[in-house]
């Protein structure tokens, strides 16, 4: 019988191995130690099932090997993929991930930050919508999709390039009259650039285009109304739609079909995000795919970068077009 019932400590290992406490510590920190000692310690540790207590270690070393990820939610396919990839990227670096979801509530976002602050995490990766969010200067912070200030590194997809790409693809596929649809929050963010890129490409190619932007709380119905109003004699005024997100694209496609239009026959639709059925099957629609894995990897790399004196303030990662059945190939 070992002492109490609690987990074995370094002291136990030291006693078991017949060495000093400090020696055990060195073994577990990769600090050179006599071969015979190391073996004795390792055997004793294995025998006792010893695990270093990372809290005690964190208390002393002021590093905990834990990073917090703050997300609006974990069920949205894009966020879910992000969480998954970030978790893996962190694991590769020997870190654990604390996940908090905010429900897009600014107060909850601030609470989450405070909560993880207590936990002495080594860093925070946040995808947030609180325009007044106070990020603690003491903890490394990386923002995804939202630029705060030069001091806070932001990692995002090349949203501008993605918007361009979408427009060019539609034109290349024969579309003559384009539509841009967007629905979302008022809080400015990198994704806003999708429209800019789209417009830039349209201008460059002198393509007719219309823009419709809605706020979250208005719901999808105004799009239906708009679409309905622009169909004359069964044929639409437009033949290509770029939607700000795959989710919107999906809704729009359903609306078009309900209105009797064929996709991609009458109208071609491209979304944004690269959402797949069940997370890993085919694309839900033709789309501009965000490089989720690179987004994750990059965020983690920047967050864990030792030299924080010279970090980029914005990194945009390349997107790619993927056919998903709602464009004519």
State the binding partner of 222 from a second copy, DNA, none, CB within 5 to 8 A by kind: none
Q: Which is nearer to a second copy, 128 or 164 (CB)?
A: 128
Distance CA 11, CA 274 (A): 52
Closest to 139 (Cα-Cα) out of 152, 124, 126, 149: 124
For residue 91, state whether it binds a second copy (rule: CB under 8 A).
yes
Partner that binds at residue 259, options DNA, a second copy, none, CB closer than 5 to 8 Å by kind: none
Which residues between 20 and 49 bind DNA (CB under 7 A)?
A: 20-23, 25-26, 28-29, 32-34, 36-37
Tokens 């349209």, located at residue:
202
Residue 298 tokens read as 């990059």
Given the rule CB under 8 A, which of 17-25, 160-168, 196-204, 272-280 is the region that contacts a second copy? Answer: 272-280
Stretch that binds a second copy, among 16-24, 98-106, 208-216, 233-241 (CB under 8 A): 98-106
Q: Does 92 bind DNA (CB under 7 A)?
A: no
Backbone angles phi, psi at 107, to 5 degrees: -65, -45
With beta carbons less than 8 A apart as the criterion, state whether 197 and 169 touch.
Answer: no
Contact call for residue 211 and DNA (CB under 7 A): no
Residue 61's CB is within 10 A of a number of other CB atoms, namely 11
Find which of DNA, a second copy, none residue 206 binds, CB within 5 to 8 Å per kind.
none
- Distance (Å, whole) CA 227 – CA 217: 19
Judged by CB, which is closer to DNA: 33, or 259? 33
Reduced to 3 states (helix: H, G, I; strand: E, B; else coil), residue 223 is helix
- For residue 227, say if its preceding peptide bond is cis, omega within 30 degrees of 0: no
Residues contributing to the site for DNA (CB under 7 A): 6-7, 9-11, 19-23, 25-26, 28-29, 32-34, 36-37, 50-53, 56-57, 59-61
């Amino acid at each position: 019988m070992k002492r109490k019932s609690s987990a074995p400590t370094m002291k136990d290992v030291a006693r078991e191995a017949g060495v000093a406490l400090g020696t055990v510590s060195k073994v577990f920190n990769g600090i050179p130690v006599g071969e015979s000692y190391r073996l004795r310690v390792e055997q004793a540790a294995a025998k006792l099932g010893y695990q270093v207590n990372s809290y005690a270690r964190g208390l002393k070393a002021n590093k905990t090997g834990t990073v917090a990820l703050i997300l609006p939610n974990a069920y949205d396919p894009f966020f879910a993929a992000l969480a998954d990839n970030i978790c893996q990227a962190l694991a590769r670096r020997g870190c654990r991930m604390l996940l908090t979801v905010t429900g897009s509530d600014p107060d909850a976002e601030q609470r989450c930050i405070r909560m993880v602050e207590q936990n002495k995490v080594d860093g925070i990766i946040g995808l947030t919508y609180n325009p007044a969010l106070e990020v603690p200067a003491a903890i490394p912070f990386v923002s995804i999709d939202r630029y705060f200030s030069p001091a806070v590194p932001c990692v995002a997809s090349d949203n501008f390039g993605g918007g361009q790409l979408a427009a060019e693809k539609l034109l290349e596929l024969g579309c003559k009259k384009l539509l841009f649809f967007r629905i979302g929050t008022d809080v400015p963010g990198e994704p806003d650039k999708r429209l800019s890129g789209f417009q830039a490409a349209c201008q460059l190619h002198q393509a007719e285009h219309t823009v419709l932007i809605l706020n979250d709380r208005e719901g999808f119905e105004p799009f239906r109304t708009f679409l309905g109003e622009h169909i004359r004699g069964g044929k639409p005024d437009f033949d290509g739609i770029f939607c700000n997100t795959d989710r919107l694209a999906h809704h729009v496609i359903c609306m078009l079909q309900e209105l009797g239009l064929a996709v991609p026959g009458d109208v071609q639709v491209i979304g944004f995000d690269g959402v797949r059925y069940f997370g890993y099957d085919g694309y839900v629609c033709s789309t501009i795919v965000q490089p989720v894995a690179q987004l994750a990897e990059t965020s983690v790399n920047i967050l864990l970068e030792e030299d924080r004196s010279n970090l980029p303030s914005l990194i945009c990662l390349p997107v790619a077009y993927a056919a998903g059945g709602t464009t004519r190939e």
